[in-house]
Structure 1
Amino acid sequence: MTEQSGTRQPIADQMYAILLQQFMSGERTPGESLNIGALTRELNVSQTPLREALARLEHTGLVQREALRGYRVAPMMTRDEVEQLMEARLLLEPSLAKAAAANVTDEFLARLHETVVEFRDSADHADVEAEGFNTYWRSDDRFHMLIAAQAGNRFLELSYAALGGQIQRFRLFSKFGRTGASRAAPEHEAIYEAIAAGDGARAAETMRRHIVGATERLLGT
């Protein structure tokens, strides 16, 4: 594989996309070793772009690096980690939704609605088809990121971004038959409707219910 020019993706970007897809498809499982030498041979690429891609994936929380042992796919979240992540999100995301409801613009609502539609379209397939899960993953990420950005508080947005890697782990490990996307889709719609109406209190409450519901679905409670 050689470096591509023009508008095509650099090799590091290609490796990032390939590995991310392998994580989402379940081809590489939680805790699996990511040996640099084996990956260079398998993907027919040099070590430099591969290391760059792995470093970027480490930043997302989906890959971990251990001293003297190299990289591995992040392990499955423990029950305590899932519950602690819920607590952190509950402190932050209802406030972001409330603030976003006070800062709506036509452009923001149009982009947010696109994610709601994409998420709804993926709901029936997220647990059984790779493409459905990919759409679920990406639309869910955009939905929450758009709300965080629209809140208008850079420090709150950065706080949400700091949780981003762990939320990605949460999404990835919800893949195993428990995304609950068909139940989450109406929750996204309810959040969108509250924000579009400029109802900050309702936006906060619907976001709170969504976070609690997503956690309960992952834990099977």
Structure 2
Amino acid sequence: MGLTDFLCIGIQYKGMVYQMRQTNLSSLAYDQLLQSIVSFELVPGTALQERILADQLEMSRTPVREALRRLTHEGWVQNSLKRNVMEVKPLTREDIEELFEMRELFEMRGLEIIFDRKLNGGMERGLQALVDAMRRQNSEDGCDEMEYMATDIRFHTELMSFKPRSRLSRFWRQIDLEFLRMGIMALKSRSGGRATVEDEHEAIIRSIRRKKKKEAREAVRYHNEQTKLHIFRSLGSIL
């Protein structure tokens, strides 16, 4: 191998390292920004400037730009026409209505599977364990809102009875973070609301235990409607 060939390989190698480093930094920026959006640290409508974000994340603007591009593609961020910058995409009433419609469709399908395949016993125990975990989390001082809502979402995901790695499961994973964000926003302004959520979950479990499919469907609809109405009240000032 000649010196020229060696130098060319070295340049290519350094280019690969640089590209990998940029990609890793972009992923890091994406993860941190998404977490800030979902946890409501960055509220809907917050301006996002590359320079400021790069300073906060202690990295160059290139990976931040790539992260913002990805967040835009996924619907978390949009261009602000007023300020000529990016911003956290606002939630609308239509967005919330649509998300709850999708969740209810999945849950009703899940109930059909549970009752048709007589999975009541195993499903009941799994759901009860999640509600018990929510009650424990709620009883702790300084309950972690993110952890609590993650357990809540697991309850709804279990109820949907997806097959592992199915298309429906992958589709749900694309929107469950939206529910995590809405739930955290609602919890921040809902005193005593957690116990109500847990009681409504218990009503769903009781219906499954008693093998009352119609009652279970009504309990799911009631819970979704109450949660949606509370979110509308909680987010009224920003919708």
Task: Indicate if the aligned counterparts of 1:35 and 1:71 stay in contact, CA closer than 8 A.
Answer: yes
SS in 2 for 1:174: helix
Q: 2:225 aligns with which of 201, 212, 215?
A: 212
4+ residue runs of structure 1 moved beyond 6 angstroms? none
- Looking at structure 2, the residues matched to 108 and 14 of structure 1 have their Cα atoms a distance apart, in angstroms, of 37
Instruction: After TM superposition, give the deviation of residue 187 of structure 1 in Å.
Output: 1.4
**1:171 matched residue in structure 2:** 183
Q: 1:27 aligns with which of 41, 63, 86?
A: 41
Amino acid in structure 2 at the alignment position of 1:29: V
**1:97 matched residue in structure 2:** 111
Q: 1:72 aligns with which of 72, 87, 93?
A: 87
Instruction: After TM superposition, give the deviation of residue 213 of structure 1 in Å.
Output: 1.0
- Looking at structure 1, the residues matched to 39 and 175 of structure 2 have their Cα atoms a distance apart, in angstroms, of 23
- Looking at structure 1, the residues matched to 73 and 128 of structure 2 have their Cα atoms a distance apart, in angstroms, of 28
Instruction: After TM superposition, give the deviation of residue 29 of structure 1 in Å.
Output: 1.9
Q: Write the mapping of 1:39-188 to structure 2, written as runs, cut at 5 A.
A: 39-47=53-61, 50-51=64-65, 53-54=67-68, 57-58=71-72, 61=75, 63-66=76-79, 69=84, 71-75=86-90, 77-103=91-117, 104=119, 111-123=126-138, 129=142, 131-150=143-162, 154=166, 157=169, 160-161=172-173, 163-164=175-176, 166-178=178-190, 180-188=193-201
**Superposed CA RMSD:** 4.1
> Which is higher, the Rg of structure 1 or of structure 2?
2
Task: Indicate if the aligned counterparts of 1:133 and 1:175 stay in contact, CA closer than 8 A.
Answer: yes
Task: Indicate if the aligned counterparts of 1:60 and 1:166 stay in contact, CA closer than 8 A.
Answer: no
TM-score, normalised by the number of residues in structure 1? 0.67
Larger relative contact order (C-alpha < 8 A, sep ≥ 6)?
1
- Looking at structure 2, the residues matched to 53 and 196 of structure 1 have their Cα atoms a distance apart, in angstroms, of 46
Instruction: After TM superposition, give the deviation of residue 184 of structure 1 in Å.
Output: 0.7
Task: Indicate if the aligned counterparts of 2:40 and 2:185 stay in contact, CA closer than 8 A.
Answer: no
Instruction: After TM superposition, give the deviation of residue 214 of structure 1 in Å.
Output: 0.3
Aligned length: 208
Q: Deviations over 1:193-219 (max 9, x none)?
A: 434555433332221111011012223
User: CA, structure 1 residues 79+41, in 2 after alignment: closer, same or farther (shift >3 Å)?
Assistant: same
Q: Which is helix-richer, 1 or 2?
A: 2
Instruction: After TM superposition, give the deviation of residue 139 of structure 1 in Å.
Output: 1.1
Amino acid in structure 1 at the alignment position of 2:88: V
Q: Deviations over 1:167-207 (max 9, x none)?
A: 34533442440383221111122223434555433332221
- Looking at structure 1, the residues matched to 139 and 174 of structure 2 have their Cα atoms a distance apart, in angstroms, of 30
